[in-house]
Structure 1
């Protein structure tokens, strides 16, 4: 068994090691953060990724005759379609509120800190809208419906992100 002086020596050694580890950890994090801040450049609003999804959305709209099918097709389940449109309207309204009013007018860049309920409500509305629209439009495009709607949603999201 350890005597009292050996125990005190062992305790001091662990204490010094812990202090050393805490110092290197905090200094390393500060150096890492400052280096990240130095290297961080804001991404351009218009990039290849955004352009790809917008062009893909326009192409899908044209090739599947999206608007004509939405207006004239009798196979669409209208109740689900209306619910999806309302939810999509809520989602887009919240996005525009954040972009136009909070960012442009008020100058609040981190609106999720001021209004913490907006991101989860918008996400829930977007997911529910996509499910409703998939159900409503399934009779029109069958198993292509999720791909078509995903491309359309991504085009809209990328277009909105270019505004902000």
Structure 2
């Protein structure tokens, strides 16, 4: 099939290509910023994205008469709504624990490494709260309920991110 000189040529070509590939890979890695450099210059807290979601949340609250519906509408399933409130309270409590206590008082920047159970618990509580609120408010707004609640949740998340 191949004689010895052709195999040696092929092997040398692959070796050269591998060395060239390794040199470009290490130069690309050297060009990236280290984690310490990224931590020194934080991104701005207030940006277009967070302002949009907060303004959208306020607009939905006003135009959907959100607070009035929650307080006085008899179609709201109160048991599911109360479960959603408890789960949302757990989620917000864990977020405030991370932001206020761990980051502000203890100075821990990467609290997900110190307390690895917090992110999955917070995520699960948030998803369960959104499901509970969707079930509770579906009789009021029907298929608009997920859109309204998603806008509200994004507004809350963006507002909390401004604190952290």
- In the superposition, the TM-score normalised over structure 1's length comes to 0.85
Instruction: Give the structure 1 partner of residue 50 of structure 2.
Output: 50
Pick closer, same or farther for the CA change 1:105–1:6 going to 2, 3 Å: same
- Which residues in structure 2 correspond to 1:2-151 (within 5 Å)? 2-4=2-4, 6-31=6-31, 33-34=32-33, 42-151=42-151
Give the count of matched residue pairs: 161
Give the C-alpha shift of residue 21 in structure 1: 1.6
Give the C-alpha shift of residue 48 in structure 1: 2.5
Distance 1:86 1:162 in 2: 23
Give the C-alpha shift of residue 12 in structure 1: 3.8
After superposition, the C-alpha distances for 1:86-142 in whole angstroms (9 at most, x for unaligned) are 111111111111111111111111112222222222112111111110110111122
Distance 1:112 1:134 in 2: 29
Pick closer, same or farther for the CA change 1:34–1:84 going to 2, 3 Å: closer
Q: Gaps spanning 5+ residues in structure 1: where?
A: none
Instruction: Give the structure 1 partner of residue 163 of structure 2.
Output: 163
Distance 1:13 1:160 in 2: 56
SS at match of 2:103: helix
Distance 2:61 2:109 in 1: 33
Distance 2:7 2:98 in 1: 60
